[in-house]
Amino acid sequence: MSAEQHDLVSRFPAGGVAAVQAPCPTPSGEALQLESISHRFDTVTAAEDINLSVEPEELLCLLGPSGCGKTTLLRFAAGLERPQQGRVRIGSNLMSDAAGSTWTPPEQRQVGLVFQDAVLFPHLSVLDNVGFGLPKMSAREREQRSRALLAQLGLAPFAESFPHVLSGGQQQRVALARALAPSPRIMLLDEPFSGLDARLRDRIRDDTLHLLKRNGTATLLVTHDPEEALFMADRIAVMRDGRIVQQGTPTDIYCNPQDPFVVRFFGDVNEVRGVVGDGRVETPLGPVDAGHLTDGTNAQVLIRPEALSVEKRSGPIDHSHSHVLMSRLLGGASFIHLCVHQGNDEFHMHAHMPGVFLPQRDDPIDIHLDQSQAFVFPA
Ligand SMILES: Nc1ncnc2c1ncn2[C@@H]1O[C@H](COP(=O)(O)OP(=O)(O)OP(=O)(O)O)[C@@H](O)[C@H]1O
C-alpha cells in the first residue's frame, strides 16, 4: 500500500468512496465531465485541452501507453490533483474550476476508487471492509448490502474471513465491492486488473463488467491494454502525450481509426508505402482504396494481420511466388510469417488465421486481403 493510498483509506472510507446513507439517485446529464482540462508538470504536458464525459451507466476506458496522462485525468476526477486549467463536474455539480475558487475535496465527491492494489483494511473482516463506507446505514441494512455485493462477486463464503487469507484476485474483488457499496456517482478504476495473472485477470474483468452493468454504475477505467478496453468499454478514449487522439465506440475505434497511432496501438501491423494513383495505393497484396487522399500523395498503408487470408497452393516449391517462412499456433489463432512477392521485391508480412492452420516453411501460398482492416494515411 503506497503512503498516498494509506492516507486515502484513512481519510475517507471505502478506499476512496465518500460515505453515503443510501444509493444516490441517478444524476441528470453526464455522470462525469472534464472540460477544457490542461496541466503541465515542469516540461511534461500531462493534459492538453481535454474534453471528456462519461454518461450515466456508461463504462468509458481511457486507453494509452505509459506516461500519456491517463492517471492524471483520473486523479483530477477524484479530486486528488487540481488541474491548472479547466473544470470537473460530477453529475450536475461543479467540483473544480481552475479559473474560480470552486473546489470539492475527494471525500465529498461520491466517487468510488479502485487502484491496482486492493488496499483493504487488514484488521477488518471481508464483510466489514465492504460495509465500511456505509456508517449511516443501520447494521442490518449495511450487512444486507455488503452480503449482496459479495454474493454478486462469488465471495459470499469469505464474508467472515480476513483479507490476508484471500488471494490477490479475491482481495481485488473485495476492493471493488467496497468501492461500489455506497453507490458512488462514478467509479474510477486505475489499472485494477494489471497486478493479476492472465487467467485470473480474465475472470475478474468479466465479473467486474457484469457487476458494474448490473448496478448501472458509470465508470471511468484507465488501462494501457487495448484488449481490456475492447472487452470492457462502451466507449474508448485513446490518449497520447496528454491529448485524446480519438474517442468512440470500440467498433469505431478499431474499424475506423483516424490516426496511425490508433491502428498501431491495437497490435501488430504490416506496413507498406506507396503513392496514391486513381484513388488507390498499390500494395503487394493488391490495390487498397485511398479514401479521401488525393492522387500523388505519399501514403502509408497499415494492414492488420487478420486482414490476410492465406491459402496453400498446390505445386512445387517456387521461391519466386509468395511463400511461408514460419507458422506458430497461438491458441485460438495461427500466426504465419510470410514472404510476399511483388515483382522483384519481397516483403516480410504477418498473417493471423483463425484456428489451427499451420502451413509448412516454403509452402507456396495465395493471399487474399480484407480491405476493411487495411488503413491508408498520409506518409
Ligand atoms: N506529480 C507529478 N510530478 C511530476 N510529473 C508527473 C507527476 N504525475 C505525473 N507526472 C508525469 O506526467 C505524465 C503523465 O503521467 P500519468 O501517470 O498520468 O500517465 P499514465 O498514462 O497514467 O501512465 P502509467 O500508465 O504509467 O501510469 C508522465 O510523464 C508522468 O511522469
Mean pLDDT of 136-155: 93
Q: Is the pLDDT at 247 greater than 90, yes or no? A: yes
φ, ψ of residue 108 in degrees (nearest 5)? -105, 10
pLDDT recorded at residue 13: 45
Q: Is 257 in the pocket of ligand 1 (CB under 6 A)?
A: no
| Closest ligand 1 atom number to CA of residue 224 | 25
Tell me what pLDDT residue 8 has.
57
pLDDT confidence of residue 6: 54
What is the distance between the terminal CA atoms of the chain, rounded to a whole angstrom?
A: 46
Q: Are residues 290 and 148 both part of a single domain?
A: no
Q: Are residues 125 and 237 in the same domain?
A: yes
Whether residue 135 is found in the same domain as residue 153:
yes
**Is 46:72 a contact under the CB 8 Å cutoff?**
yes
Q: What is the domain range of residue 283?
A: 268-378
CA-closest residue to ligand 1 atom 1:
41
Q: What is the ipTM metric for this complex? A: 0.98
As a whole number of angstroms, the distance between CA 283 and CA 263 comes to 18
Atom 30 (ligand 1) nearest CA: 67
Q: Are residues 246 and 294 in the same domain?
A: no
Exposed/middle/buried for 78, CB within 10 Å: 0-12, 13-18, 19+? buried
Residues 232 and 272 in one domain: no
Average pLDDT over the chain, rounded to whole?
Answer: 91
Report the share of the chain in percent with pLDDT over 70: 92
How many angstroms is it from 67 CA to the middle of ligand 1? 5
| Nearest in space to 299 (alpha carbons), one of 308, 287, 312, 314 | 287
| 209 and 314 inside one domain | no
**Which alpha helices (H) appear in the chain, and where do they start and end?**
3-11, 13-16, 70-78, 126-131, 139-152, 168-180, 198-215, 226-232, 250-255, 260-265
* pLDDT over 90, % of the chain: 81
231 and 136 within one domain: yes
CATH classification at residue 84: 3.40.50.300
- Taking CA atoms only, the protein residue closest to ligand 1 atom 6 is 41
Q: What is the mean pLDDT of residues 43-54?
A: 97
* Best residue among 34, 45, 68 to mutate for probing ligand 1, ranked by most atoms within 8 Å of CB: 68
Of 142-146, 166-170, 193-197, where does mean pLDDT reach its minimum? 193-197
* Domain boundary, last residue among 196, 227, 260: 260
Domain boundary among 260, 286, 306: 260
Mean pLDDT of 135-146: 94
Same domain, yes or no: 275 and 192:
no
Question: Average pLDDT for residues 219-232, to the nearest whole number?
Answer: 97
Nearest ligand 1 atom to the CA of 81 is 1
126 and 273 fall within a common domain:
no
Number of domains in the chain: 2
Q: Which of 8-22, 49-63, 251-265, 300-314 has the weakest average pLDDT?
A: 8-22
CA of 111 to the centre of ligand 1 (A): 21
pTM (2 d.p.): 0.90
Residue 173 CB less than 6 A away from ligand 1: no
Identify the residue whose cell numbers are 495505393.
281
State whether 160 and 290 are in the same domain: no
Distance (Å, rounded) from C-alpha 166 to C-alpha 157?
Answer: 11
Residues 180 and 306 in one domain: no
Are 185 and 61 within one domain?
yes
Instruction: Please indicate whether residue 66, judged by its CB atom, sits closer than 6 Å to ligand 1.
Output: yes
For residue 25, the model assigns a pLDDT of 42
What pLDDT, on the 0 to 100 scale, is given for residue 299? 97
> Does the pLDDT at position 348 exceed 70?
yes
d(CA 252, CA 258): 9
* pLDDT tens profile 294-345: 999 999 999 999 999 999 988 776 667 899 999 999 999 999 999 998 888 8
For residue 41 and ligand 1, the question of a CB distance below 6 A is answered with yes
Exposed, middle or buried, 94 (CB in 10 Å: 0-12/13-18/19+)? Answer: middle
Residue where a domain stops, chosen among 260, 281, 316: 260
Tell how far the Cα of 38 is from the centroid of ligand 1, in angstroms.
Answer: 14
